[in-house]
Amino acid sequence: MNNESQIHQVEITIEEAKKHINKMNALIRLSRNKDYKEIFLDGFFTQHAIHQVLLKADPGQQSPEQQADILREIDAIGSLRMHLHAVIAQGRQMEGSLPEHEQAKEELLAEDAA
């Protein structure tokens, strides 16, 4: 692979890293918003989750269809929570590797100039 294509590849990697970091930062800002906390953290991830768990044990909610619906709700809560954690984890990982990619780009540019 020649220097020009290596530089291009590193630039793409840097842009992708910046996208993940920006997404992470957006989620962090959002999570500090009081409305987000009320609707998602306290509402969906806490109260709604508790409600679904209680419904699962409710004698009036024991038909296979009702139980399946409840499990889908619980799975949806977990899936969204995992997605949000993944956004943060990817952003942190990219934050750590971005300086290395930028350094590699500088080295490739220096080689190209020489």
Structural domain boundaries in the chain: 3-113
Q: What is the total residue count of the chain? A: 114
Q: How much is the pTM?
A: 0.84
CA triplet 71, 78, 75: central angle to 5 degrees?
Answer: 20
Q: What does the pLDDT look like over 45-93, one tens digit per residue?
A: 999 999 999 999 999 999 999 999 999 999 999 999 999 999 999 999 9
Q: Is the dihedral of CA 31, 37, 40, 45 positive or negative?
A: positive
Judged on CB neighbours under 10 Å (0-12, 13-18, 19+), 11 is middle
